[in-house]
Amino acid sequence: MRLYVEVALPLPLNQAFSYTVPELWQERIKMGVRVLVPFGERILTGFVIEIRKKRLKKGLRLKEIKEVLDEKPVFSPFFLSFTRKLSNYYYSSWGELLQASLPPSYVIRSKTKIFLSEKGKEALWREKLPNKERLILNLLQKKAYTPFFLQKKYRIKNISSLLSQLSKKGLIHLRREMKKPVRRRLYLDPVPQRQLEIDFSLEKSLRTIVEQVSLKGEEKGFFNFLLFGPKNKRETVYFHLIKRVLVRKEKTLFLVPEISLSKCLIEKFENKLGKKVAILHSRMSERKRELEWQKIKDGEAAVVVGPRSALFSPIDNLGLIIVEEEHDDSYFQQEKPFYDARKGAWLRAREEKAILVYGSAMPTVGAFYRAKKGGYLLSLDKKEPKNNVLILEEKSKEGIVSLRFREKIRDRLKQGEQVLVFINRRGYAPLLICSKCNYIPKCINCDIALTYHKKEEKLICHYCNYYLPKMEVCPECGSKIIKMGGVGIEAVAEELKKSFPQNRIDSFTSDETETKKEQERIIRSFSRGKIDILVGTQLLAHQAALPSVSLIGILYPETMLALSDYRASQKTFQTIDLFMRPIRDDGQGEVIIQTALPYHFSIQAAASQDYISFFNHEIKLRRLMNYPPFSHVVGILFYGENLRTLARKSREFSAQVESIAKEVEILGPALAGVKRLRGVNRVQMILKAKKRKCLDEVLEETLKNVRLKKSICVFS
């Protein structure tokens, strides 16, 4: 009997491919197994998503699968259904999502190597060759290389056509090699014996919430909740919910925004639950990731903890999904395949009929609005803020750090206390400007001003790392005076060192702490009192081991309000709240917010830690402007080397959308905020509609006609 399969391939294509199954593999073929299949000249690892006895289209000559790689499926039917819906929601490739769900060692890759032929060796000596051909043949005399290496070395745009010409002439020959990973035997680390922490305390209001959620869990259906309140109370509820789930012999998936937070949670879970806990994230070594993945797959982990990539862990019998710090944008995957783990958690919980709990003290506006409207908002008693928060209006004549703030720092240092200062800008200054002709040095690859780094005496692009030495003379008009535009963390640290020369001051940024060890060293030094003032960006605020202090300064938070993003006020509120977290919780702490916009509602609400006030103001603006949650918005970014082609085809796309769906509002096409990135031009469009269905219908019809590289961002 002839069998046919549909295979999802890890390619940026929204379709599956049909293959026939030879008799040799028919007994092992199952839904969810990996297979090796021919695709053009390549051999790819694909995933079986459908098996049938009749071919879908008659008259097509189908290729055979080469090999079935698994005896048992790596993906369950539930998991396949969930990932299919997630890929549809974000217009991503299903095959790419499935590949991202596996440890790297589970993906078998083929590699093409190019060798110099005997005829090619003779041609180098006897024939007159074009420059590009001679360059490549000369290099191949040493050894074989891949097309990617050759393209990168010589920056040849159409490398494939050039190699094809050389191959037809017989000057080179190509050899395809299958690279199967070495599957080492994995050893489980012994789990140390622990004394379990016994915690019977659960105040009445929290017990009511735990009972309410647990009762829904016993109904074996999908229910979701938003837990709104302080972190310590949320964690108490989480642990009691997980215990109830374990009693029902079900498992828990616990998502956190940062890898560092997942590591902190592991010990807490093992101390409180005494169960095996697995951690899964993309920065693990291949061996460790495969070990943890296999432990989850074999059902040995009762709780799985991790950032957004843990959403795809092969956990079965799922009873509870928790998404902690729901407001954090780290849940959005900004590289292919695109997805938001917050929506992904909702889709997976619904597919597996599990309970979903979002948690945050400052949820996204859309999530809070939907929870209130849907009746699934669970509010915890919130502590009144005990610390003093002072908003200072920025006055340039006083310097980068205001006189009042410097006085506060001096008082704390005299008492032997430490200070944290936050500013969300890397480098010394965001840009340099010629004071005569207003020339701004820009990156040659990206349409963006170069950031001045004084320590390195360089102007650096934070997108592609292109740099120039510091300019003393304007290249346009010859003027020697270049003024600074804005302030970065280096300038803040420099001014503090001048104001407090006797004190120990250090900085914490991605530029100065490139390795995890260096980050840990600085946090350890600060914890031991070896640093008096620590200046940092959001990277510092996200460090789980950062100790509490009695004085925190937040400089220029209003810079985020200049973002061309309808969520700018929300991001400003959340960033200020994040920076305020390390304050000492005894009523003696002080927070200074120095800003040019002291009366902006997001800054005022963040200072008083009043989320409800912020939400009420922001939701009115969203309703007025018809932004989510009152509409659905999709951003489409087209990119390519030829700007004229991009502009023409994006206008054609816009016209096609307009002709199909009158109820879809079209903004653009226009040049993106950064119109050129890493040498590639970018044009963007925004589509907005009351109903998501309208966007899906029009994009399903129009995207298939677009022959441009693109990325699609879904806002909800």
Burial class (CB in 10 A: 0-12, 13-18, 19+), 72: exposed
- What single-letter amino acid sits at 255? L
The answer to whether the CB of 508 falls within 8 A of the CB of 483 is: no
Is 69 part of any domain? yes
Confidence of residue 275 (pLDDT cuts 50, 70, 90): low
Q: What is the mean pLDDT of residues 689-698?
A: 91
Based on the domain organization, do 439 and 350 belong to the same domain? no
Lowest-confidence segment of 341-350, 612-621, 690-699 by average pLDDT: 690-699
Q: What's the confidence (pLDDT) of residue 74?
A: 93
Q: Which CATH number characterizes residue 532's domain? A: 3.40.50.300
Rg (C-alpha) for the chain, rounded Å, is 29
Based on the domain organization, do 514 and 414 belong to the same domain? yes
**Residue 528 per-residue DSSP state:** T
CA-based nearest residue to 488, from 567, 427, 562, 412: 427
pLDDT digits (tens, 9 = 90+) for 477-530: 888 777 777 788 999 999 999 999 999 999 988 776 667 788 888 999 999 999
**Residue 561 per-residue DSSP state:** G
Q: What is the mean pLDDT of residues 52-78?
A: 84
Peptide bond into 629 cis (omega under 30): yes
pLDDT digits (tens, 9 = 90+) for 13-27: 888 999 999 888 888
Based on the domain organization, do 591 and 545 belong to the same domain? yes
Peptide bond into 337 cis (omega under 30): yes
Based on the domain organization, do 417 and 463 belong to the same domain? no
Q: What's the confidence (pLDDT) of residue 32?
A: 94
Is 190 part of any domain? no
Give the count of beta carbons closer than 10 Å to the beta carbon of residue 286: 14
CA distance 577 to 619: 19
The tokens describing 369, both together, are 């609005």
Give the count of beta carbons closer than 10 Å to the beta carbon of residue 131: 7
Lowest-confidence segment of 211-220, 302-311, 313-322, 533-542 by average pLDDT: 211-220
Q: What's the confidence (pLDDT) of residue 195?
A: 46
Is 141 part of any domain? yes
| Residue 419 confidence (pLDDT) above 80 | yes
Confidence of residue 543 (pLDDT cuts 50, 70, 90): confident
Is 699 part of any domain? yes
Q: What's the confidence (pLDDT) of residue 616?
A: 97
- Strand 451-453 relative to strand 458-460, pairing: antiparallel
| Residue 281 confidence (pLDDT) above 90 | no
Based on the domain organization, do 312 and 241 belong to the same domain? yes
Based on the domain organization, do 351 and 280 belong to the same domain? yes
Based on the domain organization, do 399 and 548 belong to the same domain? yes
pLDDT digits (tens, 9 = 90+) for 149-204: 777 777 776 677 788 788 888 888 877 666 655 554 544 455 455 544 445 467 88
The 8 Å CB, 24+ separation contacts for 455-462 are 455/428, 455/490, 459/432, 460/427, 462/426, 462/427
Q: What's the confidence (pLDDT) of residue 196?
A: 45
Q: What's the confidence (pLDDT) of residue 182?
A: 52
Based on the domain organization, do 532 and 642 belong to the same domain? no
Based on the domain organization, do 173 and 239 belong to the same domain? no
Based on the domain organization, do 208 and 339 belong to the same domain? yes
Q: What's the confidence (pLDDT) of residue 180?
A: 57
Based on the domain organization, do 594 and 695 belong to the same domain? no
Instruction: Tell me the pLDDT of the chain averaged across its residues.
Output: 86
Percent of the chain with pLDDT over 90: 45
| Residue 403 confidence (pLDDT) above 80 | yes
pLDDT digits (tens, 9 = 90+) for 450-465: 999 988 888 999 888 8
Q: What does the chain come to in residues?
A: 716
Among 589, 622, 655, the domain-final residue is: 622
Q: What is the mean pLDDT of residues 126-134?
A: 78
Percent of the chain with pLDDT over 70: 92
- Strand 505-508 relative to strand 533-536, pairing: parallel
Q: What's the confidence (pLDDT) of residue 604?
A: 95
CA distance 653 to 705: 8
Peptide bond into 669 cis (omega under 30): yes
| Residue 627 confidence (pLDDT) above 90 | yes
Is 669 part of any domain? yes
Is 33 part of any domain? yes
CA distance 506 to 300: 44
Residue 304 is part of which domain span? 204-379
Residue 672 backbone phi and psi in degrees, to 5: -65, 165
How many structural domains does the chain have?
A: 6
Lowest-confidence segment of 171-180, 306-315, 586-595 by average pLDDT: 171-180
Is 196 part of any domain? no
Based on the domain organization, do 404 and 538 belong to the same domain? yes
Residues contacting 170, CB < 8 A, separation 6+: 117, 119, 120
Q: What's the confidence (pLDDT) of residue 514?
A: 67
Q: What is the mean pLDDT of residues 274-300?
A: 84
The answer to whether the CB of 418 falls within 8 A of the CB of 534 is: yes
CA distance 149 to 513: 30
Q: What's the confidence (pLDDT) of residue 705?
A: 80
Q: What is the mean pLDDT of residues 587-599?
A: 90
Is 192 part of any domain? no
